[in-house]
Amino acid sequence: MLCRDGAERTQPRVAGRALQYLAVHRAGWRDPGQAPQAGAHLGGETDLDGGDGSSLRVYDTEIGPMGGLACGENTNTLARFTLLAQGELVHTASYISLPVAPKDYDMAEAIKLRSMSHSFEGKVFTVTATSTVSDEIITAMEEIRPDARDMLERKSSAYSGIIGPDGREVVPGLIDDEGIVYAEIDLGKCIQPKQMHDITGHYNRFDIFDLRVNQVPQAAVNLKTGPAPAPDLSAVPMPDDSEES
């Protein structure tokens, strides 16, 4: 299954409560004629930026309750809480590689930190998949931007990995290199941490906080059709012939 940022996720193999899942660290934009996107937002699969919240929900899967966000959406605290409050146990986070970020910004570390934060706060597993920038992509971009190699060869621009409910990596992840991260996850490991600290349960103050989420599908335009209403001729009296003369 391809994420819209070019990363790929595959179907898991289920073995009792031990579930094998993998994050694929893949080079995106393989078609030189396809322009790379500058960023991913909640405006397609999960519509919060310029769309709606109709798909901001948790889905029942073979693995268990699964939700997902794309790119910087994973920094949206209310969006993440909305998924956790619906019983999310496996979170999927997809990103694009961003080698053109500010020089003092460690993109790979930032992606990893977001994943660790969500897992630790929600006591869930987070499967992170980020596209990579291959030499093939750089060569194609050099036809448009001669300085593309200097821009796109920057290191620590992409991270893919699997984070456990304790906020730590289940297995070592991948940084920049294209490959596959394999791990076994046991959803039973989400229980004990929640008994200690459940931000959607006993560690919340529902008497103080009230989060409301609009999941009604929204349209870009609402068109009204039908016959024009008949004019109300009684509203303004028509002048008679004598008045006109």
Q: Give percent above pLDDT 70 in the chain.
A: 75
Q: Specify the pLDDT at position 23.
A: 56
169-197 confidence digits (pLDDT tens): 999 999 988 889 999 999 999 999 999 99
The reported pTM is 0.73
Q: Specify the pLDDT at position 148.
A: 86
More confident residue, 35 or 158: 158
Q: Specify the pLDDT at position 48.
A: 53
More confident residue, 2 or 213: 213
34-92 confidence digits (pLDDT tens): 333 333 445 444 445 556 888 899 999 998 999 999 998 999 999 999 999 999 999 99
Q: Give the chain's domains with CATH numbers.
A: 8-196 (3.60.110.10)
Question: Region 89-97: what's the mean pLDDT?
Answer: 92
Q: Specify the pLDDT at position 22.
A: 53
Q: Which pLDDT band holds residue 24 (cuts at 50, 70, 90)?
A: low
More confident residue, 163 or 16: 163
Residue 16 CA to its chain's centroid (Å): 28
Q: Specify the pLDDT at position 21.
A: 46
Residue 70 and residue 90: Cα distance in Å, rounded? 14
Work out the mean pLDDT of the chain and round it to a whole number: 79
More confident residue, 87 or 244: 87
Q: Specify the pLDDT at position 15.
A: 30
More confident residue, 35 or 168: 168
Q: Specify the pLDDT at position 112.
A: 95
Question: Region 121-128: what's the mean pLDDT?
Answer: 96
Is pLDDT of 31 > 70?
Answer: no
Q: Specify the pLDDT at position 37.
A: 38
